[in-house]
Amino acid sequence: MPRKKVILAASFGIVFAYCAVALLAPVIAPYDPHAITGAPLSPPDKDHLLGTNDLAQDVFSGLIWGTRATLLLGFIGAAIAVAIGTAAGIVSGYYGGLIDEAVMRLLDVAMTIPIFPLLLILTTFFRPGIYLIAVLMGLLGSFQGVRVIRSQVLSLAVADFVVGTRALGAGDGYIMARHILPGVLPLAGVKFVTSAQHFMLIGIGLGFLGITDPSVVDWGQMINRASQNGAMVLGLWWWLIPPGLAVTLISLALAWLGYACEDEINPRLRVMRI
Amino acid sequence: MIEVTDLETNFSTGFIHRRVVRAVDGVSFWIEEGETLGLVGESGCGKTTLGRSILRLIEPDRGRIVVDGTDVTALSRSELRRFRPRMQMIFQDAYASLNPRMRVSESVAEPLKIHRMGSRADIDRRVRELIDEVGLNEEHLNRRPYELSGGQNQRVALARVLALKPKFLVADEPTSALDVSVQAQILNLIRDLGRDYRMTCLYISHDLGVTRAMSSRVAVMLEGRIVEIGRTADVFDRPCHPYTQRLVDAAFAGRACTPPERPPLPAAPTMVEVRSGHWVEETV
Amino acid sequence: MTNEALLEVRGLKVGFPTPDGLVRASDTVDLEIYPRETLGLIGETGSGKTVLGMAILRLLQPNAAIEGEIRYRDRDLLTLPEDEMRKVRGREIGIVLQNSGTSLNPVYTVGTQIAEAVTLHQGLSGPDARQRAVELLDAVGIPDPVRMAGEYPHRFSGGMRERALIATALACRPTLLIADEPTKGLDAVTKRGIVDLFSEIDRDRSVLFITHDIETVEDLAARVAVMYAGEIVEVGGVREVFWDPAHPYTRGLLASLPERGMRPIPGSAPSLITLPPGCRFSPRCGCAIGGCNREHPGLVEVGPGHYARCMLYD
């Protein structure tokens, strides 16, 4: 029990720290990440905590500013995915019948679409800005969650308390918002955390392939440029490793958060009666 | 007050082989104002479906239902929603009939909020009145269903339903999950409140003893149809239909020596009036 | 009928530690079951009757605090080593648990599950065990037993499932059968069938019939014990206890039956963590006298073989 609380606290702490860094980037970062500051490819020293890259930009500042891109993609994408997925799941599960059939068939088709390649194609051709990428990821990633939400809604929709509220004269919208939605929020919350982790990694991947917005500093980009400039061979560890570590850490934190929340949420509302 | 004519509710299952189950198969009866009609039968006879069909919580496929002068079957969805306060239901599992996340005060206030019956202060006041009427007190207001016992939850469910001052109440086995002494408390409460609110009641149960105590008339249901209906004392003391006899034997009489055979089901059921107000399905 | 008790419970105390305190589910219970009799054990939710049944076969959760003695055939069941206890379970003492819905494994056929009981204790296997399973299903009144033995539990109705569970419990011919709420949730006709079945069962063995359904006990049992808040408050012959109840709780319970007037007992059962001082029923008792809420009464004889835990008879 206490171990779980420690993990929960630690992961929350890490996520919170990342958010703080992202918000306070202009304050924390010593330099503008795009600015040329001193000699290129120089190792860390007192002026540049993580050295400089091939364009003599400060790596540390890049790392700080890169937090924004990662978190943005992760959280906005997850928010959109969860919002659409939950809404679809609730409507589909609550109404049943033709609406449910239609949504399920649509989902069958949609889920055959490979998300990452599609995302690749869209971003390569249209070169959207970072916000648009987040929206796209959210849209494409919303399909997965619908089924899970829907099955929870199916059991909620026939529960006596829902029937009873309908008997009181409540409209469908009211019931869905006031009774069904709170019932699926825990599931949706967990989905949000895991989706955020997933999307952050995809975002890094896109950055690595050089497809994201070049005007935004992105850890994936940094890793890409570092390896292209022979960081492995030349031993430019200060450029190559920190972004990778940064991604790993937030990814782990979110994964732990997801597991810990799942455990918390499931047994809580069940009470044993002897 | 309540008049049901030829009600039919079917359930179809199966995707390839469509099977139709006639849960409610042509049921007709009436209930006088202020009267409690008991509805008994084995599990699966359709009595729960009948109760929910009358309230249109399950949509019936055919038939007419008149509640307090209004043809409920002809109402549109929004008209039905506005009419709902006049006809309410309490369920067997009180714990399941309450949202586990909502506190008692919220659950009881909900119907008043949905129909916008007064300001927040008015609603608060009415909630306190209702809680008091059902025998709970202030300390229960902030509790959630899992913190209360079955009997207490059923009281909350009653308060919720009474908030709308219904004229017709369907009670679907409200006490079968409760202990005997708690059952007595709740049933007395329902009886008293029924009198105070002048409600007409349909009391569904598989327990004949309880039904006898609660209803002035009773209907016996078998496989979707009513096979006998009449004054409770008459039906239970001098049952006419063989199925009723079987139920009464099982519930009230001593040990049966051999398990009785199921009576053959009549081909085309017709109801015959044996005595005034006492109808029996004709057996061939 | 010998006077030697088949099962004797002495001073049984069962407690469950919870974050809120120790739940005293069973507090110093003394009970005897004689050969070839059905003892009814009546009580409402939280009275401790299920715990008592489970304690006899040591089926309670590992962190339960159990004290006392349960003598069965010159052995104290509570001190038996686990492998000895396993031989008692099923073979000498059988149990039909509550909640028949989850008592059968949905992925095995019913016949297989009954045969399992036979295989475990009597060494029969394969076609012999299956044959026995079919015989048992027939004996408990399941129609078309050969076919039903090959069916899965979901095809069985509530009453039939109960019968199948009884068949499993009887498979090894135990001398004592503990039945925990066998008629719960069943409608009147099905209930009658199960009661009839039990009246056949108790011809050759003892039955501890745990229930909150008073009428079925009246039909089946010779003696009955009434439990309240973890204690036995009255015990005696069925006729005496039901038609001339001594303890105010028993009287209140009977009065709350629909056929006897449906007069409720005011208040509700006490928490098993913080019990009221003195007599546990005194806060709700209409006949409480001065000492009732101070002194805890013991079982007092109020008639031949009829005992009640009440100050009024001291």
pLDDT tens-digit series, residues B163-202: 999 999 999 999 887 888 889 999 999 999 988 888 999 9
Chain C neighbors of B182, CB-CB under 8 A: 44, 264, 268
Q: Is the dihedral of CA B122, B126, B129, B131 positive or negative?
A: negative
Looking at this predicted complex, what is its ipTM? Answer: 0.80
Comparing C101 with B100, which gets the higher pLDDT? Answer: B100
Average pLDDT, chain B: 84
pLDDT at B263: 34
| DSSP track, B7-20 | EEEEEEE-SSS-EE
Domain that holds residue C296: 7-104+156-313
Name chain C contacts of B215, Cβ cutoff 8 Å.
Answer: none
- For residue B222, which phi and psi values (nearest 5 degrees)? -140, 120
- Region B81-88: mean pLDDT is 91
Is the per-residue pLDDT at B259 higher than 60?
no
Asked if the model's pLDDT at residue C226 lies above 90, the reply is yes
User: What mean pLDDT comes out for the span C164-187?
Assistant: 86
pLDDT at C232: 92
Q: Give the three-state DSSP class for A62.
A: helix
Are the Cβ atoms of B183 and C44 closer than 8 angstroms? no
Query: Which residues constitute the domain of residue A26?
Result: 2-268
Q: Which of B55, B96, B115 sits opposite A161 (nearest CB)?
A: B96
Q: Percentages helix, strand, coil for chain A, rounded to the nearest 5?
A: 75, 0, 25
Cβ of C196 within 8 Å of Cβ of B210? The answer is no
pLDDT at C234: 93
**pLDDT of B254 over the 90 cut:** no
CATH no. of B2-281: 3.40.50.300
Chain B residues touching chain C at CB-CB below 8 Å: 42-43, 149-152, 176, 179-185, 187-188, 206-210, 212-214, 246-247, 249-251, 254-256, 259
**Residue A274 placed within a domain:** no
The nearest CA of chain B is from the CA of A176 a distance in Å of 13
pLDDT at A92: 92
In the prediction, which pLDDT does C6 show? Answer: 87
Among the listed ranges A146-160, A203-217, B166-180, which one has the minimum average pLDDT value?
Answer: A203-217
The encoded tokens of residue A162 equal 């829902």
Name all chains with 3 or more CB-CB pairs below 8 Å to chain C: A, B
pLDDT at B262: 32
pTM: 0.80
> Domain count of chain A?
1
pLDDT of residue B256: 33
Which strands, in side-by-side order, build the sheet including C223-228? C93-96, C176-180, C206-211, C38-42, C223-228, C231-237, C306-308, C300-303
Q: Does C25 touch chain A (CB under 8 A)?
A: yes
C213: which residues sit within 8 A by CB, 6+ positions away?
C183, C184, C191
Alpha-carbon distance A273 to nearest alpha carbon in chain C (angstroms): 9
| Side-chain-side CA neighbours of residue B45 (13 Å) | 22
Which residues on A lie below 8 Å from B153 (Cβ)?
none
Residue C202: per-residue pLDDT: 80
Mean pLDDT of C128-155: 87
C252/B contact by beta carbon, under 8 A: yes
**Which residues, at least 6 apart from B13, have a Cβ–Cβ distance to it below 8 Å?**
B19, B21
Interface contact C45, partner A, CB < 8 A: yes
Q: Is residue A113 part of a domain?
A: yes
For the segment C227-243, the average pLDDT, to the nearest whole number, is: 91
Percentage of residues in chain B having pLDDT higher than 90 = 31
Does B165 touch chain A if contact means CB atoms closer than 8 Å? no
- The residue of chain C with its CA nearest to that of B245 is C189
Q: For residue B139, which residues of chain C lie inside 8 Å, CB to CB?
A: none
The CATH code of the domain that includes C286 is 3.40.50.300
Res. A163 pLDDT band, cuts 50 70 90: confident
Distance from CA of C45 to the nearest CA of B (A): 7
Mean pLDDT of B55-61: 89
What residues have CB less than 8 Å from B69, skipping those under 6 apart?
none
What's the total number of domains in chain C? Answer: 1
Interface test mutation site (partner B, options A104, A165, A168, max chain B beta carbons within 10 A): A168
Say yes or no for a CB contact (<8 Å) between A174 and B114: yes
Q: Which two tokens stand for residue B62?
A: 């055919």
The pLDDT value given to residue A91: 93
Look up tokens 């599931």; give the residue.
A187
Q: Which residues pair with B273 in a beta bridge?
A: B279
Give contacts of B206 with chain C, Cβ < 8 Å: 187-188
Look at A227-231, A265-269, B50-54 and tell me which has the smallest mean pLDDT: A265-269
Q: For residue A274, which residues of chain C lie inside 8 Å, CB to CB?
A: 25, 45-46, 50-51
Comparing C-alpha atoms, which of A184, A178, A206, A175 is closest to residue A69?
A206
pLDDT score for B127: 92
What band does A264 get if pLDDT is binned at 50, 70 and 90? low
Neighbouring chains to B with at least 3 Cβ pairs closer than 8 Å: A, C
Residue A207 has pLDDT above 90, yes or no: no
| For residues B102-124, average pLDDT | 90
Please check whether residue C156 is in contact with residue C145, taking contact to mean a CB–CB distance below 8 angstroms: no
Instruction: Choose the most confident range, by mean pLDDT, from A203-207, B185-189, C20-24, C125-129.
Output: B185-189
> What are A22's two structure tokens?
């992202």
* Domain containing residue A91: CATH number: 1.10.3720.10
DSSP chain B: -EEEEEEEEEEEE-SSS-EEEEEEEEEEEEE-TT-EEEEE--TTSSHHHHHHHHTTSS--SEEEEEETTEEGGG--HHHHHHHGGGEEEE-S-TTTTS-TTS-HHHHHHHHHHHTT-S-HHHHHHHHHHHHHHTT--GGGTT--GGGS-HHHHHHHHHHHHHTT--SEEEEESTTTTS-HHHHHHHHHHHHHHHHHTT-EEEEEES-HHHHHHH-SEEEEEETTEEEEEEEHHHHHHS--SHHHHHHHHHHTS---SSPPPPPPPPSS--EEEEETTEEEE---
**Distance from C-alpha of C212 to C-alpha of A20, rounded to nearest angstrom:** 61
Give the β-pairing of C21-33 and C75-76: unpaired
State residue C40's pLDDT score.
93
Mean pLDDT on A236-249: 85
Size of interface A-C (CB pairs under 8 A): 6
Give first-to-last CA distance, chain B, whole Å.
33
CB A258 within 8 A of CB A193: yes
What was the pLDDT predicted at A60? 85
Task: Find out whether B57 and A166 touch, Cβ atoms under 8 Å.
Answer: yes
Closest CA to B263 of B283, B278, B249, B280: B283
- Judged by a CB distance cut-off of 8 A, whether residue A273 touches chain C is yes
The answer to whether the CB of B280 falls within 8 A of the CB of B274 is: yes
Concatenated DSSP letters of A1-55 = -HHHHHHHHHHHHHHHHHHHHHHTHHHH-SS-TTS--SSTTPPP-SS-TT-B-TT
For C66-97, the pLDDT digits (tens) are 999 999 888 888 888 888 888 888 888 888 88
- Region for B138 from its dihedrals, namely left if φ exceeds 0, alpha if ψ lies in -120 to 50, beta otherwise: alpha
Q: What is the pLDDT of residue A266?
A: 61
- pLDDT value of residue A269: 45
A145 within some domain: yes
**Partners of residue C45 in chain B, C-beta under 8 Å:** 150, 179
- Residue A132 scores a pLDDT above 90: no
Angle (nearest 5°) at CA B146 between A86 and B142: 90
Question: Is there a contact between B114 and A168 if contact means CB atoms under 8 Å apart?
Answer: yes
Domain ranges of chain B: 2-281
Tokens found for residue C169: 């419990």
Contact in structure between B97 and A166 (CB atoms under 8 Å): no
Q: Which of B42, B184, B254 sits opposite C262 (nearest CB)?
A: B184
Cα–Cα distance for residue pair A147/A20, rounded to 1 Å:
34
CB-CB neighbors (< 8 A) of B57 in chain A: 163, 166-167
In a domain, C183, yes or no: yes
Domain assignment present for C127: no
Contact C170, C85 (CB under 8 A): no
Name the average pLDDT for chain C: 86
**C88 part of contact set with chain A, CB < 8 Å:** no
- pLDDT at residue A90 is higher than 90: yes
Q: Is the pLDDT assigned to residue A257 strictly greater than 90?
A: no
Q: Is residue A273, in this structure, part of any structural domain at all?
A: no
Q: Is C44 on the interface with B (CB under 8 A)?
A: yes
Q: Are strands C223-228 and C231-237 parallel, antiparallel or unpaired?
A: antiparallel
Which C residues, 194 through 223, put their C-beta within 8 Å of a C-beta on chain A? none
- The mean pLDDT of C120-135, rounded to a whole number, is 83
DSSP code for C182:
T
Q: How confident is the model at residue A160 (pLDDT cuts 50, 70, 90)?
A: confident
Q: Answer yes or no: is pLDDT of B282 > 70.
A: no
CA atoms within 13 A on the CB side of B49: 26
**pLDDT, position B272:** 60
Is residue A62 in some structural domain?
yes
Minimal CA–CA distance to A260: which of A75, A3, A13, A78? Answer: A3
Q: Does pLDDT of B131 surpass 70? A: yes
CA distance A86 to A106: 15
Give the residue on C whose Cα is nearest the Cα of A274: C46
d(C-alpha B210, C-alpha B171), whole Å: 12
User: What is residue B267's predicted lDDT score, i.e. its pLDDT?
Assistant: 33
pLDDT at A261: 77
Residue B37 has pLDDT above 90, yes or no: yes
Nearest CA of chain C to the CA of B251: how many Å? Answer: 6
State mean pLDDT over A196-223: 85
Judge whether B166 and B154 are in contact, CB under 8 Å. no
Euclidean distance between CA atoms C311 and B112, whole angstroms: 50
- Residue A274 touches partner C, C-beta closer than 8 Å: yes
CB contact C233 to A (< 8 Å) = no
User: Span B50-59, mean pLDDT?
Assistant: 90
- Rg for chain B (alpha carbons), in Å? 20
Of A168, A183, A271, the CB nearest to B111: A168
Structure tokens belonging to residue B204: 């569904």
Find the range with the poorest average confidence among A108-112, B130-134, B155-159, C101-105: C101-105
Mean pLDDT of the C155-163 span: 85
Place of tokens 């929020």: A185
Q: Is the pLDDT of residue B217 over 90?
A: yes
